[in-house]
Structure 1
Amino acid sequence: MCHHLILKALVLRILLFFTLVFFGQVRMAFGLADALSGADSLPAYGDTLDLLGVEVYSFPVEKYAHGQSVIRIKERDLERFQGQAFTEYLQKQTGLFLRQHGPGMLASLTMRGTSAGHNAVFWNGLPINSPSLGQADFSILPVGGFDQAEILLGSGGALFGTDAIGGSIHLHTHLKFNQGFQAQIQSNVGSFGLWNQSVQAGYSSEKFSSRTQVYRNFSRNDFPFRNLSKIGTPIERHDHGRVLQYGLVQDLAWMISPKSQISSSLWYNDTDREIIPLIGSNTEDQQQDRNLRWVVDYFYFGEKNMLNLKAGVVDDELVFNVGSVNQTRQYFLSGDLEWNILPEIQAKSGVRQTFVQGNLSSYEAEESRTELYHSSNFLLKENLRFSLNLRQFVYDGNLAPFTPSLGGEWMVFRLKGQELGLKGMLARSFKVPTLNDRFWVPGGNPDLLPEESYSAELGLVHQLEKGAFQLEQSLTHFQMWVENWIIWLPRGSFWAPENIRDVHNSGLEYTFKSKYKLGRTVLGLNGNYALNRAINQTDVNANDRSAGKQLPYTPVHKAQGQVEVERGLFSTFVNHQWVGHRFIATDNIGSLPSYRLWDVGFRYQFPENFFLAGQAGFQVHNVLDTEYQILHLRTMPGRNYQLNITFRL
């Protein structure tokens, strides 16, 4: 118990110390006028780390992920979704599927047919999955809480630790130096009482950068729906679905010297929701989520090495119907060293210590976690490289499965304006049982084994540039076997979790982006297709008929495409997504039909002679007013509108 208290005190003191250092150096940083020069950098196979007063450094998460499929989401990609939950972007712009309980309601992600708890989510390097539930609710992750993101598809346990069986999502805030004063005001209004606002202001000199953002998002969610539980299925309007969210994001960075940098980020998010009831139900449940994330990073850049020290806190509180209060807190302390062994070999080794506290409605628990990890990159030839990752995870004295991964990329050929590459990966991954799985009263099972997976993937990557035409496309096939999958089963008067299910996941992923320039006009076309087969291999009892069946609410097919046209200050888009049928239960007897959704919109960039810089946009969602359900008896809105306006100083 003593070392738990020492770790908590150490993390909090580190966070407070560096925050005081930031504020104590503000005046001095504003007065610095000497340009940064002679900054040593860590070579990365021909690339160099630019510390000449432009970017605040953050470690590229995909650096040791050769062979793994990566989706990169830039700040510009998120502009149209400001004020909305990250759910909307993922559902409309990627091949990923989210199980939404309604607009603004719980949204859980499935990647490659895995469960919601098989995806690790990080914010500025901090794991933010709930340790009690083992997953993240994407409906309470507003796009305003980060600037860019990466999605790594496929098992990432060796790189990122527990939960990353299906993949991992990494959210980042991004600061720059030497930008002076900048400010932005944004407002969105739309159907069903939607009204979102955010204000952002920042200042940066050559060695100091600070940015503050506050936001408020509101929706009445009083959209009409067809009440299937009543005779004649009348059209009614929801009167219990209000969502109010507000938050603060504070980022700071200071270049202490040409070789060292400190950065700190804080994100507070508060969401108050009236839970939209199932069709035919009159429940009036309410839920409030309060989330605090705080991280400090220190980087030291040597001539052939780089040191990173990180400390952080993730504090989550979920209050359901006032009386049920569930609190968890995680303290993180980690350090890793990256160095060049040879010009062709680069390595990183580190350790992360985590202390978890849980004060839930039916139990209290504490847990200590230790992770040792190592990653290496090998450049065998100019066109052939590999990544090897190793991780050992220990939780309260229990060893999680030793987790290795091996990935590689081979440039098959490179001609003028055209490249073809082959990539592949073999990986083992794992998920530690959640606090609820082990300690819930009644039913928790402290003897549960970690879930574990074995996976393999192979893919092609093609790039083409010919005149005014550009094309990037990739095709990936994957196979995954998940063992000791935890499910809750009835045991007399209560339910209890068991390691009883084995699942075989397999599929294809295709993605492409293209662009064609014709004078002042730019035509863009992109799309995604995902085929996911998630087949249960075991019956849980003699009466079960789920073996050989697709997992519930896991569509075999999902496709998305978008056409965008830009000309001068104007741009317009048409977006389409198609989701195949989803089975409702494990026996695959009942299912929800497939559905198609169309969105259209335009954007106008204010001209330079306008009194303020900025842009205005208008979107129509679900243009054809399609009636659909993502989950059984969970209503979704029909046609709706949104107007966005942004001013920048």
Structure 2
Amino acid sequence: MKKLVFALFFLLLLNQFSAQETLIDTVLIDNQYRKASKTVKIENINSDKILQNSTSLSDLLRFQSNIYIKENGRGATSSPSFRGTTAQQTAFVWNGININSVFLGQGDINTLSPLSYENVGVKYGGGSVVYGSGAIGGSIHLNNILDYNKGFSGNLFSEYSSFATINSVASAKYSDENFSFNFNFNHSQSENEYEVEEKYYKNRNGAYQNSAFNLGMAYKLSTNNELYWQTQLYDGVQNYALLSEFSTPTKYETQSFRSLLGWKLRNSKFSNEFKLAYLTDDYQYFSNSTKNDSQSGGASEQFILKSDFNYQLTQKSSFNNILEYNYLTSESFKTQRLPANRNQGSIAVLYRNNELKNLFLELGAKKDFVEDFSSPYLFSAGANYQAKPWYQIKFNLSKNFRAPSFNDLYWVQGGNLNLKAETSKQAELSQIIKLKNWKFSVTSYFMDIKNMIRWLPNIAGMYEATNTDRVKSWGLESQVGYNYFKNNHHIETQISYSYTQSNDQKLKKQLPYVPFHNLNGYFSYHYKKYTIFAQGIWNGKIFSDSEESEKLALESFAIINGGISVEILRGTKIGFKANNITDKVYRTVYGYYMPKRNFAINLNLNF
């Protein structure tokens, strides 16, 4: 393993100094994300929609994507179901860096504030060749943007809503020809105590609060030589809702620090981006939140070196080499987990060709090296064919994987040192039609996951990590969008529908918390100083267990939100929003109900 580490580090440096000079005009921290849109389905959620769903990333993804969000009550632990998979098969990517927990192998959506980012991206389908372990069902991208020649701008946003909820953000940007600066501080908190009288449910002990500090800078050393830095500090507390007033209150505290230093060089033939990242993730669990000395928890650190080297073979073809080395270390406090460290690295190559008329091709291959663990060879292949000016076809085929997390391997008892990596083969086909202001798209996909890691009871009744499951998932995703702008009138609307079959091949039944039917949409109309918007979702019946028990199934539900904003002064807007307008009783996890009708008012200052 030491020879591998040395070889990877040497190649990283070699790639960095191979790049020559060219003009740099902007900072794209995750430059692979835009390239991926050529052959796979991608959705971009801009800052306006983020502010319309400022309460949580769960709300944002629930109403702006086809991802099913499983939330243990508002603001509590939340995880995604992406194309019939679980949270472990979803990669969370911060500015091009995979930030899934080294302990759980997944991310908690409600510990990631949407107010920290200018753009949230959703990439559907496998992406392990570029984004590593966990990118099987899809990946969620949290992007910060650094621009040049924009001058100074600032934003203050504050929202007060039901259940004593406050969401606020203060941001400032400055950039000139050679320097860019981006500052963001956001805070959310809520007493989060609500009732659902029809079900005799009260969200007791549901309070939460979190704060995040973000700072980004970029500087052009020359017209072709650039440095950038992006950092984030997050601190949050979640109290876990109690199903009974006699239950002991519990809570979860988490702190994370992420810092990324990048160096870009390029000319007409070469480009190279070198990244150095340092990530920490600490958590404490209180089995009795009234006694602060009863905590257990863990802490992890990651050191990442990454080089993304691109060589332009011809004007319309290129060779891309991505090298990465990652050192992980962890320790536990009063938990049944062994301390663990890991060296891992990867070598990926991609070839892109746009020389054939109206046809773009991409081929990729990757080999991961994980200490004391066997990892597979991966591949990807994609094509984009512009059959007509108004008709486009995308095709993508890939093999992806997820390595066992530290909990999967080292938890006592139940961890399994003999686990194999999850692997999946997936294919998808998209057809896109654009006619004037209209856009239509249909995507079909198939996924075969082998050795899925799940915690299941053994003969003695103890839960342990096993590789016994195999899952096949297939489905259809369709969208209709309309965008119109004329004489101060701007209309934007989109409706998305997805059908998902995700079957455990042993039981021949649908995986838990995977809806067969999902429908969501939004509408906005802007005229001069006035904006109105509406958004909604509908989910069909959802099974909450592996046996498709009707008794434990979640009822279908439809939720509609709506709002209005008015510019009262130049750069100053006030807004009002009503959530769950029809006062629907619903839940996304068995036992925990979500709020009925509730309201929010906000003030948005831009200067």
Given the two structures, how large is their TM-score scaled by the length of structure 1? 0.86
Q: Counterpart of 1:604 in structure 2: which amino acid?
A: V
Q: Which residues of 2 match residues 298-447 of structure 1 at below 5 A?
A: 298-321=263-286, 322-360=294-332, 361-362=335-336, 363-414=338-389, 419-447=390-418
Q: 1:512 aligns with which of 467, 480, 505?
A: 480
C-alpha distance in 2, partners of 1:526/1:645?
Answer: 26
Amino acid at match of 1:584: S
Pick the aligned partner of 1:267 from 227, 232, 236: 232
Cα distance between partner residues in 1 of 2:493 and 2:155: 29
Q: For the residues of structure 1 that align with 2:5 and 2:239, how far apart are their CA atoms?
A: 37
Aligned to 2:560: 598
Contact 2:5/2:325 (8 A) holds in 1:
no
Cα offset, 1:324, TM superposition: 0.9
Out of 72, 77, 80, the position equivalent to 2:44 is 72
Which residue among 495, 504, 525 is the counterpart of 1:536? 504
The question of whether the paired residues in 2 share the 8 Å contact of 1:614 and 1:645 is answered with: yes
Instruction: State the distance in 2 between where 1:487 and 1:2 align.
Output: 32
Q: Which of 595, 598, 603 in structure 2 is aligned with 1:640?
A: 598
For 1:602 and 1:558, the matched residues in 2 are separated by 26
* C-alpha distance in structure 1 between counterparts of 2:579 and 2:123, whole Å: 28
CA contact (8 A) 1:102 1:634 kept: yes
Structure 1 residues 494 and 55: CA distance shift in structure 2, 3 A: closer
**Most deviating of 122-131 and 209-218:** 209-218
Q: Which residue of 1 aligns with 2:70?
A: 99
Secondary structure of 1:176's aligned partner: coil
Kindly provide the CA deviation profile for residues 251-278 of structure 1, in whole angstroms up to 9, marking residues without a partner as x: 1111111001111111111111211123
Instruction: Name the CA shift for 1:448/1:605 in 2 (closer, same or farther; >3 Å).
Output: same
| Matched residue, 1:484 | 451
Q: 1:352 to 1:520 in 2, by over 3 A?
A: same
**532, 543, 546: which is aligned to 1:586?**
546
- TM-superposed CA distance for 1:397, in Å, is 4.4
Structure 1 residue matching 2:593: 3-state secondary structure: coil
Match among 426, 441, 449 for residue 474 of structure 1: 441
Q: 1:57 to 1:237 in 2, by over 3 A?
A: closer
Tell me the secondary structure at the aligned position of residue 381 of structure 1.
Answer: coil
Report the Cα offset of residue 518 of structure 1: 5.5
Partner of 1:257: 222
* 1:178-189 equivalence runs, <5 A: 178-189=149-160
Once the two structures are superposed, residues 269-309 of structure 1 have per-residue CA deviations (whole angstroms, 9 ceiling, x without a partner) of: 11112111236762311110111111111100122110110
Secondary structure at the aligned position of 1:88 is classed as helix
CA gap 1:537/1:56 in 2 versus in 1, 3 angstroms: closer
Check the 8 A contact 2:152/2:174 in 1, yes or no.
yes
Of all paired residues, the percent bearing the same amino acid is: 22
1:249 touches 1:267 (CA, 8 Å); kept in 2?
Answer: yes
CA distance in 2, matches of 1:64, 1:88: 25
Q: Which amino acid aligns with 1:624?
A: T
Alignment of 1:227-266 (within 5 A): 228=199, 233=200, 237-266=202-231
1:517 is displaced (CA, Å) by 4.0
Amino acid at match of 1:255: K
Q: Is contact 1:66–1:386 with CA below 8 Å preserved after alignment? A: no
How far does residue 204 in structure 1 lie from its aligned partner after superposition?
2.2
2-structure distance, mates of 1:472, 1:531: 20
- Whether 2:536 is the aligned partner of 1:568: answer no
Is the Cα contact below 8 Å between 1:227 and 1:280 reproduced in 2?
no
What secondary structure sits across from 2:547 in the alignment?
A: coil
TM-score normalized by the length of structure 2: 0.92
SS of residue in 1 equivalent to 2:159: strand
**CA RMSD across the alignment:** 2.2
For the residues of structure 2 that align with 1:551 and 1:64, how far apart are their CA atoms? 29
Determine if contact 2:154/2:172 at 8 Å carries over to the other structure: yes
Letter in 2 for 1:422: I
What residue identity is the alignment partner of 2:499? L
Question: Could you tell me how far 1:56 is from its partner in structure 2?
Answer: 5.9
| CA spacing shift, 1:6–1:213, aligned 2, 3 Å | farther
Label 1:428 to 1:319 Cα distance change in 2 as closer, same or farther (>3 A).
Answer: same
- Within 5 A, what are the aligned runs for 1:622-637? 622-637=580-595
> Are the structure 2 counterparts of residues 589 and 238 from structure 1 closer, same or farther at C-alpha, using a change threshold of 3 Å?
closer
- Equivalent residues of 1:334, 1:351 under 8 A apart: yes
Note closer, same or farther for the CA distance 1:3–1:329 as it changes in structure 2 (3 Å cut).
farther
The offset of 1:512, in angstroms, is: 2.5
Question: Helix, strand or coil: the match of 1:211?
Answer: strand
Deviation digits for residues 458-516 of structure 1 (CA, Å, limit 9, x no counterpart): 12011111xxxx01221011011100011222232632111000011000011222023
Asked if residue 208 in structure 1 is aligned to residue 179 in structure 2, the reply is: yes
Instruction: Output one character per residue of 1:133-178: Cα deviation in whole Å (capped at 9) or x when no partner.
Output: 0001111111121111221101111222111110112211112223
CA distance 1:250–1:450, shift in 2 (3 Å)? same
Task: After TM superposition, give the deviation of residue 605 of structure 1 in Å.
Answer: 2.7
Q: Which amino acid aligns with 1:274?
A: N
Alignment of 1:169 onto 2:140:
yes
Work out whether 1:558 is the aligned partner of 2:558. no
Cα offsets for 1:30-88 (capped at 9, x unmatched):
xxxxxxxxx835xxxxxxxxx34x65665141414542111122233323233x22111
Q: State the Cα distance separating 1:180 from its structure 2 match.
A: 2.9
Query: Could you say which residue in structure 1 is the equivalent of 2:466?
Result: 498
Q: In structure 1, what is the Cα distance between the partners aligned to 2:198 and 2:104? A: 32
Q: Is the 8 A contact 2:97 2:131 kept in 1?
A: no
SS at match of 2:590: coil
Match of 2:491 in 1: 523
Alpha-carbon distance between aligned partners in 1 of 2:5 and 2:32, rounded to the nearest angstrom: 32
Corresponding letter in the other structure for 1:508: L
Q: Give yes or no for contact 1:278–1:635 (8 Å, CA) kept in 2.
A: no
**Secondary structure in structure 2 of the residue aligned to 1:61:** helix
Tell me which amino acid in the other structure corresponds to 2:598. Answer: N
> How far, CA to CA, are the matches of 1:128 and 1:57 in structure 2?
15
**Conservation of the 8 A alpha-carbon contact between 1:271 and 1:289:** yes
Name the CA shift for 1:265/1:518 in 2 (closer, same or farther; >3 Å). closer
> What is the rounded CA distance, in whole Å, between the counterparts of 1:283 and 1:513 in structure 2?
48
Deviation (angstroms), 1:376: 1.2
Structure 2 counterpart SS, 1:552: coil
